[in-house]
């Protein structure tokens, strides 16, 4: 498995991953709708990393920078985190989270947050366990990791 940043040219390869995710959580969106959504989200304040096996995307994490001027903190919020079922429990998700953490450190992000129970986690408890293994701690329903 290879890990790297998501490029705009990768977006068409996201469709099978999106199809797996939508079927697992019972959404009626098409993979094309998700690909178009990713197209609009990918920007300078986006951190997106993928896991690739034999030319197919098998895992993806997308996070977005947010600034809160009143707190003086820069946050990175996880917006999408999914690993194909057959690749789970092999460290793929943990490796993707490590890539996001490194990307955040390079951009001087103070805090990472994730809400796997909020929307779209096939199994929020297992997703939460992945965040905990990566150093996040649970605060209410939000997983948080302070980098600075």
Cβ–Cβ under 8 Å, residues 61 and 96:
yes
pLDDT: which is higher, 47 or 95: 95
**Alpha-carbon gap, residue 89 to 79, rounded angstroms:** 21
Q: How many helices (H) and strands (E) does the chain have?
A: 4, 7
Q: Sorting pLDDT into bands at 50, 70 and 90, what band is 2?
A: very high
pLDDT at 44 over 70: no
User: Rounded to an integer, what distance in angstroms lies between the CA atom of residue 43 and that of residue 2?
Assistant: 23
Contact 62, 45 (CB under 8 A): no
Query: Is residue 27 classed as helix, strand or coil in its secondary structure?
Result: coil
Q: Does 124 have pLDDT greater than 60? A: no
The structure's pTM equals 0.76
């Amino acid at each position: 498995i290879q890990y790297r940043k998501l490029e705009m040219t990768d977006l068409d390869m996201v469709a099978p991953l999106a199809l797996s995710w939508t079927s697992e959580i019972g959404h009626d969106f098409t993979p094309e709708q998700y690909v178009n959504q990713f197209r609009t989200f990918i920007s300078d304040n986006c951190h997106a990393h993928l896991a690739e096996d034999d030319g197919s995307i098998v895992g993806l994490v997308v996070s977005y920078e947010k600034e809160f001027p009143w707190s003086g903190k820069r946050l990175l919020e996880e917006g999408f985190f999914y690993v194909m079922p057959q690749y789970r429990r092999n460290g793929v998700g943990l490796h993707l989270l490590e890539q996001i953490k490194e990307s955040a450190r390079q951009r001087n992000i103070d805090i990472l947050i994730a809400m796997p129970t909020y929307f779209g986690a096939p199994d929020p408890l297992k997703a939460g366990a992945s965040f905990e293994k990566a150093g996040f701690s649970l605060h209410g329903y939000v997983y948080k990791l302070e980098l600075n």
